[in-house]
Structure 1
Amino acid sequence: MKAWQITETGEPGTALHWTELDNPAPGHGQMLVRVAAAAANFPDVLLCRGEYQVKPALPFTPGLELCGKIVALGAGCERFRVGDRVVGTPVMPHGAFAELSVLDADGACPAPPDLSDAEAAALTIGYQTAWFALHRRTRLAAHETLLVHAAAGGVGSAAVQLGKAAGARVIGVVGGPGKADYCRRLGADLVLDRHSDDLVAAIKNYTDGRGADVVFDPVGGEAYTTSAKCVAFEGRIVVVGFASGAIPAPALNHALIKNYSIIGLHWGLYKGRDPRLVQDCHHELTRLAATGAVKPLISERLSLSHVPDALARLGAGSTVGRIVFHP
C-alpha cells in the first residue's frame, strides 16, 4: 500500500515521505480498514514536529481520524463485520494518511449513515472533544452564553454547532474576514475578529456586562488572557489545547476574586478510562447528525498527495473548517 511516513520529525513539508509499505495486519481485537476519508487535525501537525503528547516510535504514518470500510478482522472482533463502514482513531504506527489503516475494534464506531465519508471522518476528534467539554466538563445550559475561540477551526467549529444545538447563545472569535463568514455559516450569533475588534468590550456589550458563562479555549496564550477578562460570575473556562504555542500561567487569585472555574479537558483519556462514555457520545452525535443539528463543514476535499501542503497550512493557521483527504 501507499502511505505517508515520518522517519524524522520536523515540519510537515520535510518530515513526510510518500512510501510503499506492506499492508498492515490487524492484531487481536483490531481490524484492517480501507481508508475512504482521513480528516486533518492540528495534532497531526504536532505529530510531524514531534511535539504531540503521544510520540509514536519512528517510523510511523500520521493521521488521527478516518472513515473507511473494514477489509479484515483480527481475532476477538465481534462487534463488526467485513464491509462495515466505520469511523475512529487509528492505532499507531498505522495512521490514516494511507490507503489502509488499523483500528481497535473497541474504539471504533459505526459511521453515521446521514453523513458522507468526508463528514463522518471529521466527526470523531473535534466533535467528541467539544461535546465532552460542553456537556460533561462545563455542563453548558440552554440560554447561557458560550464563547468559542478559533471558532472557524476544526474543534472550534464543532463547539459552535454543539453550542447552538444545546440552546446556547454562541460568540465565535476568529482571525480574519474569511473566517468570520465561515463562522456565521456555522450559526454563531455574534462573530468577532480578533484582528480588528475589541473583544472584551464587544463581549461585555453583547452580554449586558455579564460576560460569557462558558469559554471554549483551544488556543491558549492571548486568547486565555481575553477569556479571563470576560468570563461571567460562576463562569467556566475549559482549556482544550494550545494552538498558539503559548501555555498560559493563570493567576489563581483572579479566579478566586472573580469566582470562575478553570477546567481542563483531554478527550483521549476517556478512551482508556471509560470507553463507554465515548460510545455514548458517538450515539448522541449520530442522533444530532440525523436531525441536521451538527454537520461538519468540509472546506477542502483533497487527494492524499496534498497532505504535506495542507498540514503546513493548517499549522500556520491559514485554513478554515475541516480538510479531508481521499486516497
Structure 2
Amino acid sequence: MTSVGRSIMRAVLVRQFGGVEQMKVENDVPIPSVGDKQVLIRVFISGVNPVDTYIREGVFVVRPDLPYTPGYDGAGVVEAVGKRVTQFKPGDRVFTSHGTQIGTLAEFTCADETRVFPLDDKLTFTQGAGIGIPYFTAYRALFQKAHAKKGERVLIHGASGAVGLAAVQIGKAHGLCIVGTAGTKEGLELVKNMGADAVFNHREKQYMAQLEQGEKFDVILEMLANVNLGKDLTLMSPRGRTIVIGSRGTVTIDPRLLMGLESSVMGVALLTATPDEWKDLTAGVVEGIKAGWVKPIVDKVYTLEEAGNAHHDIINSKGAKGNLVVKVQD
C-alpha cells in the first residue's frame, strides 16, 4: 500500500501486440511500488507520440513484456518518493519521459529520479505531457547530432508536428534561421507564429523547386525520410547534415550527392543517448522552460477511454498541429 491509500488503479493495458483494439482500460491494475531512487507520480495527462504506436504494434526495437501500459511521456504531481530521492518531494509538479516503471496511460506511474523534471507553474499539466519526447528529440537532433551553430540555416520538414514545433522554438531561441514545411493552412500559420523565418506547403507541387532555388541548408530535420530524403540531399550546403527523425518505409538515394559536398545523413533516437547526453539535453530543455521558450502546443485532448483514438490519429493525421495528449484523471 502506498500513500495513495489504495493498491489498484485505472490504466490502459495491452495484452497482445497489434492494433488499437488491443488497448483496454482496466480498473484493477496494481499501483507500482516505489524504489529507493524512484518517484511515484499521480498522472494527470499522458503524452502520445508515434513511437508509442510502434511499440504497441510490436514493430519497434523495444518490445515490453506483456501485458504492458503504453506511454513514455506524462505530467502530474509527485505522490511519494523513495528514501534516496533528493530532488523531489510529495506535491511537486513534474513531467517525466523515458524512465517509467509502468507507462503513463495510468493513474500512477513510477519513474527513476533522473527521468523526472520540474514543471514550471507557467505551464499546464496538458503542456507538460507534451514536453518529453518532442523537445528532447528536437534538442538532441539539433545540437547533439547536427551540432547546429548560431546563424546556420535549418529546414524542418513537418514543422507543424510536436517535434517540429519544438525544433522551431529551440532553433529560434538559439539564433538559428528556421524554414519549416507543413501541409495545411493552419499548420503553416502555426509554424510561422512560432517564429519560423519562412514556411512552405509541402503538399504543393512546386514547393521543392522553390526550396532548391533558394539558399541551401546547413541542417535538415527530416520527419518522413522515406518520402523526402532523396530530395533533402539536393538542398544541403557543403558539409550539411540531414538528421532523420522519422521514416515509414524505404527510400532510394544517390550517394554521389553526399560526396561532392561532404554532407552527411544520420539518424536520431533517444534510446541510444548516454547518461551524459541525457543530462545535457534535459538540462537544455529545463533551462528553456525557465527562460520561457518551451511552449508546447496541444492540438487535442482525449479521455483515457479514447487513448486508442489518439494512437490512430497521431499516425493518420492529414495535418499535424502540435501534440496529442490523453487526460488520465482530474
Query: Normalised by the size of structure 2, how large is the TM-score?
Result: 0.89
Post-superposition CA distance 1:128-170 (Å, at most 9, x none): 1111211222222233211001111111111112122222221
Aligned twin of 1:294: 294
Candidates 137, 140, 148, aligned match of 1:140: 148
Contact 1:90–1:102 at 8 Å: present in 2 too? no
| 2:12 is the counterpart of 1:4 | yes
Aligned twin of 2:310: 310
Candidates 222, 233, 237, aligned match of 1:232: 237
Aligned twin of 1:17: 24
Candidates 125, 145, 168, aligned match of 1:160: 168
Aligned twin of 1:281: 284
Shift of 1:274: 4.3
Post-superposition CA distance 1:214-265 (Å, at most 9, x none): 10012211211121121112211112232xx114465433211232122332
Aligned twin of 1:322: 323
Candidates 221, 226, 234, aligned match of 1:216: 221
**1:56 counterpart SS class:** coil
> Matched residues in 1 for 2:11 and 2:305: separation?
10
More displaced, 14-23 or 137-146? 137-146
Candidates 51, 56, 75, aligned match of 1:67: 75
Contact 2:93–2:119 at 8 Å: present in 1 too? yes
Aligned twin of 2:4: none
Aligned twin of 2:5: none
Match for 1:17: what amino acid?
Answer: K
Contact 2:37–2:84 at 8 Å: present in 1 too? yes
Shift of 1:64: 0.9
Match for 1:37: what amino acid?
Answer: I
> Matched residues in 2 for 1:164 and 1:197: separation?
28
More displaced, 159-168 or 268-277? 268-277
Query: Normalised by the size of structure 1, how large is the TM-score?
Result: 0.90
> Matched residues in 1 for 2:223 and 2:24: separation?
29
Contact 1:200–1:229 at 8 Å: present in 2 too? no
**CA separation of 1:204 and 1:273: change in aligned 2, threshold 3 A:** same
Aligned twin of 2:3: none
> Matched residues in 2 for 1:27 and 1:177: separation?
48
> Matched residues in 2 for 1:296 and 1:141: separation?
23
> Matched residues in 2 for 1:11 and 1:320: separation?
24
Residue ranges of structure 2 left out of the alignment (5+ in a row): 1-8
Match for 1:230: what amino acid?
Answer: L
> Matched residues in 2 for 1:325 and 1:212: separation?
36
Shift of 1:34: 0.3
> Matched residues in 2 for 1:62 and 1:28: separation?
24
**1:281 counterpart SS class:** helix
Identity of aligned residues (%): 25
| 2:273 is the counterpart of 1:270 | yes
Post-superposition CA distance 1:191-224 (Å, at most 9, x none): 22222142332113332xxx11110012211211
Shift of 1:90: 5.5
Post-superposition CA distance 1:85-109 (Å, at most 9, x none): 1111254561111111111112211
Shift of 1:61: 0.5
> Matched residues in 1 for 2:152 and 2:281: separation?
25
Contact 1:60–1:93 at 8 Å: present in 2 too? no
More displaced, 213-222 or 160-169? 160-169
**CA separation of 1:90 and 1:227: change in aligned 2, threshold 3 A:** closer
Contact 2:153–2:218 at 8 Å: present in 1 too? yes
RMSD: 2.0
**CA separation of 1:92 and 1:283: change in aligned 2, threshold 3 A:** closer
Match for 1:326: what amino acid?
Answer: K
